[in-house]
């Protein structure tokens, strides 16, 4: 009887778990989004369109997403809908699956509750596939058998391959997974060195992971993966030939040695100990690594270029897009980081060094990502914290650490409750109380989600219809479409959804949304693209984000555009009869020659912060200023770890009006137009019209400027300005 009762309880336990998992799977079922307009919708479309056009990421396209980025954040198109759907549903299943597996590994119900709560909150806040991948990977790394001597190399290869694939989705996902895996294995190597046990195995496991990451990322970065596979097979063939040859030579020498010993002759010279490391399978291993490195460095679809350019965008993000809000909010987040790091320090001493380093790395990534823009991005960090702490609880060996961790877990939950139930938390215009409503859905929701899962073709039809409805907001009039026809075009600065709405022949600049050109190198990549492959037409709107002047987004590229493109004579003003979203759209066509001659002699000056600098600009001339703002040593360290507060330029116009614009220190050195800064769309239209009108005065003339920052410790005390004037045709 007792045995039957026990079996009944176990069966009921598994049934409850199955019901909960199915419930969560259906309630949080991800479905691919369609095409939308605006800043976010346009880059979603861009990263979906680029792989279809066989563009090479790191060269033709520069962003924080790779060729598989559309799988996590792309817009669903006709050709990729099912790939996105199956991938996101697969990630959803994997996240739930590894969570359930981890729950079974845990020893106490309190540990299980902490993990379940952590995972649940990542769903409630609506984390998409990118962070689900990161946390799935972290939960996998927390499994004890990964570092088992029998399986460590297999796990290293498998997880390395997954991390290599992740590197080609979103750069944050790739950095988090690769970094977490490498740190885990480095911690394992350190422990092996301390104990002088299985050192060779630990080294090989680390190299296995690096080889797997590199091979998979190299394979799929190329729009033609078969070509990359061919190169990898050549590497394997060379390594195999070397390994087999050295193995045969060693075997022949060993046989000869045995025969000579039998005949009591002097044995032949043996291979030195160092040479044995390059014989047989070990020879294959190291030769493949070397040949892979050479192949990666020499390949046209450059993995190094992809990583380098993604890093440039990512590092520029922390200074170019930072938004500073309540110091109390930063303080509460920083306190969370400090106490979690204290937990990880204790955990590292309990023989979990590698996993502690992995968690610390992901903690830093989520904190920086969350607080670069102190708006809703903060929720990324806040809602990640309980899950990170729950993984510490799962690994804790001492009761002291476990008790401390539960207190920190409670603190993390309290932070979430503040954002959910306190009106305007920390001054943020957020209202999150509704997120709990999804836990009590109506039966119709289950029916709808189940129907969607079983009828993805219908979901595709609905998504396509929604995309067409959204794109109506950027539909061009017939006369404009006829003008553009099959001509090559690019879109400045943001609205790439115009391409999808009007079937345009889009040849994007590498940084296809202007505001992302945070650094001079990114601006120069766009400039080089327009110089070497001039487009027939540019579709231009006078807009930007974060309080910058639209002329500042990509300074050198904009100046080239201004000098070599003009308002199309067929449409000399704004596009008429266009929807409100694009009512101020201008069509620029290529000039026969540039109207900007070589700049006159440069004038270099140095000014302190807050000093007013007068500008003297002649009629029919225009001035650019290369603004060099240097970071202090402290500033360089600070912006690597945290966000940099905005730098502003106050502009005084000739009519006395004062306006402030944000500038980006990392790209302002490329020469911003400073003498004339139109204040609105009507002034910018007059500005472009004046460029081609004899004796017309350019609008938006600037009388003086001064520069300010919010933290003088981050910068050098002086700003270097280099002025270059250009006489325009009169």
Q: What is the pLDDT of residues 158-210, one digit of tens each?
A: 999 999 999 999 999 999 999 999 999 999 999 999 988 888 899 989 999 99
Structural contact between residues 387 and 121, judged by C-beta atoms closer than 8 angstroms: yes
Distance linking the first and last C-alpha atoms of the chain: 103
Same domain, 710 and 625: yes
Which residues make beta-bridge pairs with 613? Answer: 705
Q: With a cut of 90, say whether residue 282 has pLDDT above it.
A: no
CB contact set of 296 (below 8 Å; sequence gap of 6+): 214, 218, 302, 303, 304
pLDDT band at 54 (very low <50, low <70, confident <90, very high): very high
CB atoms within 10 A of CB 693: 13
Same domain, 261 and 288: yes
Q: With a cut of 70, say whether residue 252 has pLDDT above it.
A: no
Q: Give the model's pLDDT for residue 110.
A: 95
Q: Give the model's pLDDT for residue 172.
A: 93
Domain end marker among 569, 590, 611: 590
3-state class of 452 per DSSP?
A: helix
Percent of the chain with pLDDT over 90: 66
Q: With a cut of 90, say whether residue 708 has pLDDT above it.
A: yes
Write out the DSSP string of 97-111: HHHHHHHHH-SSHHH
Of 461, 474, 558, 378, whose CA–CA distance to 42 is shortest? Answer: 474
Residue 698 covered by a domain:
yes
Average pLDDT, the chain: 89
Same domain, 651 and 572: no
Residue 189 covered by a domain:
no
Same domain, 576 and 612: no
Same domain, 534 and 612: no
Domain end marker among 274, 295, 316: 295
Q: Give the model's pLDDT for residue 265.
A: 52
Residue 517 covered by a domain:
yes
Same domain, 585 and 665: no
Residue 499 covered by a domain:
yes
Q: With a cut of 70, say whether residue 255 has pLDDT above it.
A: no
Higher local confidence (pLDDT), 213 or 2: 213
Q: With a cut of 70, say whether residue 526 has pLDDT above it.
A: yes
* H helix intervals, 299-397: 303-320, 327-349, 353-372, 378-395
Same domain, 526 and 616: no
- pLDDT (mean) for 40-68: 95
Q: What value, to the nearest 5°, has the Cα angle with vertex 593 and ends 479 and 566?
A: 35
Which residues make beta-bridge pairs with 623? Answer: 725
* Count of domains for the chain: 3
Q: For residue 652, which phi and psi values (nearest 5 degrees)?
A: -110, 120
Same domain, 538 and 644: no
Q: Give the model's pLDDT for residue 729.
A: 78
Q: Give the model's pLDDT for residue 250.
A: 66
Same domain, 650 and 578: no
Q: Give the model's pLDDT for residue 619.
A: 79
Same domain, 238 and 279: yes
3-state class of 203 per DSSP?
A: helix
Residue 283 covered by a domain:
yes
CB atoms within 10 A of CB 354: 24
Same domain, 585 and 630: no
Q: Give the model's pLDDT for residue 274.
A: 42
Q: With a cut of 90, say whether residue 494 has pLDDT above it.
A: yes
Write out the DSSP string of 11-22: HHHHHHHHHHHH
- The DSSP letter of residue 170 is B
pLDDT band at 275 (very low <50, low <70, confident <90, very high): very low
- For residue 718, what is the domain's CATH number? 2.60.120
Same domain, 629 and 701: yes
Structure tokens at 612: 């007013």
pLDDT tens-digit series, residues 604-638: 999 999 999 999 888 788 999 999 999 999 988 88
pLDDT tens-digit series, residues 636-652: 888 887 778 889 999 99
Identify the domain containing residue 533 by its residue range. 469-590
Higher local confidence (pLDDT), 2 or 522: 522
Of 437, 385, 391, 435, whose CA–CA distance to 413 is shortest? Answer: 385
Give the range among 26-30, 354-358, 536-540 with minimum mean pLDDT: 26-30
Residue 696 covered by a domain:
yes
Give the range among 173-182, 263-272, 454-463, 657-666 with minimum mean pLDDT: 263-272
Residue 1 covered by a domain:
no
Residue 377 covered by a domain:
no
Q: Give the model's pLDDT for residue 199.
A: 87
pLDDT tens-digit series, residues 534-560: 999 999 999 999 899 999 999 999 999
Structural contact between residues 650 and 730, judged by C-beta atoms closer than 8 angstroms: no
Structure tokens at 654: 């000739």
The pTM assigned to this predicted structure is 0.91
Domain end marker among 566, 590, 614: 590
């Amino acid at each position: 009887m007792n045995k039957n009762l026990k079996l009944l309880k176990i069966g009921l336990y598994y049934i409850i778990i199955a019901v909960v998992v199915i419930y969560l799977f259906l309630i949080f079922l991800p479905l691919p989004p369609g095409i939308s307009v605006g800043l976010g919708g346009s880059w979603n479309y861009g990263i979906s369109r680029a792989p279809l056009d066989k563009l090479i990421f790191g060269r033709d396209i520069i962003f924080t997403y790779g060729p598989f980025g559309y799988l996590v954040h792309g817009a669903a198109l006709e050709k990729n809908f099912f790939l996105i759907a199956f991938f996101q549903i697969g990630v959803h299943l994997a996240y739930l699956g590894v969570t359930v597996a981890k729950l079974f590994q845990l020893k106490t119900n309190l540990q299980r509750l902490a993990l379940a709560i952590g995972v649940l909150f990542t769903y409630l806040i609506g984390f998409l596939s990118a962070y689900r991948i990161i946390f799935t990977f972290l939960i996998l790394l927390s499994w004890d058998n990964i570092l088992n001597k029998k399986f460590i190399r297999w796990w290293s290869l498998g997880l390395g391959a997954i991390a290599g694939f992740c590197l080609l989705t979103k750069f944050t996902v790739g950095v988090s997974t690769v970094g977490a895996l490498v740190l885990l294995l480095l911690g394992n190597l350190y422990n092996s060195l301390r104990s002088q046990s299985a050192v060779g195995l630990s080294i090989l496991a680390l190299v296995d992971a690096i080889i797997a990451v590199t091979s998979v990322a190299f394979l799929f970065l190329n729009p033609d993966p078969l070509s990359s596979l061919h190169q990898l097979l050549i590497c394997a063939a060379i390594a195999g030939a070397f390994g087999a040859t050295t193995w045969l030579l060693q075997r022949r020498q060993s046989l000869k040695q045995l025969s000579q010993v039998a005949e009591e002759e002097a044995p032949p010279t043996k291979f030195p100990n160092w040479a044995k490391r390059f014989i047989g399978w070990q020879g294959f291993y190291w030769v493949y690594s070397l040949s892979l490195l050479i192949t990666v460095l020499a390949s046209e679809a450059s993995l190094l270029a992809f990583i380098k350019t993604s890093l440039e965008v990512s590092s520029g993000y922390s200074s170019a897009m930072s938004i500073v809000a309540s110091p109390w909010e930063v303080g509460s987040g920083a306190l969370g980081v400090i106490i979690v790091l204290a937990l990880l320090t204790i955990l590292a001493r309990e023989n979990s060094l590698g996993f502690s380093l992995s968690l610390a790395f992901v903690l830093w990534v989520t904190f920086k990502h969350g607080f670069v823009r102190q708006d809703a991005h903060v929720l990324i960090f806040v809602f990640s914290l309980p899950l990170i702490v729950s993984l510490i609880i799962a690994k804790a060996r001492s009761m002291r650490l476990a008790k401390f961790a539960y207190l920190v877990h409670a603190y993390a939950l309290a932070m979430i409750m503040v954002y959910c139930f306190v009106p305007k938390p920390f001054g943020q215009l957020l209202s999150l109380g509704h997120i709990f409503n999804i836990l009590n859905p109506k039966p119709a929701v289950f029916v709808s989600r189940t129907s969607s899962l079983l009828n993805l073709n219908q979901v595709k039809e609905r998504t396509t219809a929604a995309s067409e409805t959204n794109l109506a907001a950027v539909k061009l009039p017939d006369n404009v479409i006829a003008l553009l026809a099959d001509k090559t075009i690019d879109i400045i600065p943001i609205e790439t959804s115009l391409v999808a709405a009007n079937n345009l022949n889009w040849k994007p600049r590498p940084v296809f949304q202007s505001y992302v050109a945070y650094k001079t190198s990114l601006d120069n990549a766009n400039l080089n693209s327009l110089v070497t492959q001039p487009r027939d037409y540019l579709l231009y709107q006078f807009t930007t984000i974060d309080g910058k002047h639209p002329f500042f987004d990509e300074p050198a590229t904009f100046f080239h555009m201004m000098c070599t493109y003009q308002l199309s004579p067929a449409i000399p003003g704004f596009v008429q009869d266009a929807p409100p979203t694009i009512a101020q759209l201008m069509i620029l066509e290529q000039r026969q020659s540039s109207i900007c001659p070589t700049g006159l002699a440069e004038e270099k000056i140095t000014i302190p912060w807050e000093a007013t600098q007068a500008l003297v600009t002649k009629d029919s001339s225009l001035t650019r200023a290369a603004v060099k703002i240097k970071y202090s040593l402290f500033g360089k360290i600070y912006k690597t770890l945290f966000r940099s507060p905005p730098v502003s330029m106050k502009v005084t116009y000739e009519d006395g009006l004062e306006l402030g614009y944000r500038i980006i220190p990392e790209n302002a050195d490329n020469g911003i137009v400073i003498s004339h800064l139109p204040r609105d769309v009507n002034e910018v239209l007059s500005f472009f019209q004046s460029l081609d009108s004899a004796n017309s005065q350019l609008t938006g003339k600037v009388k003086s400027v001064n520069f300010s920052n919010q933290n003088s410790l981050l910068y050098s005390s002086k700003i270097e300005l280099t002025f270059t004037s250009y006489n325009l045709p009169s």
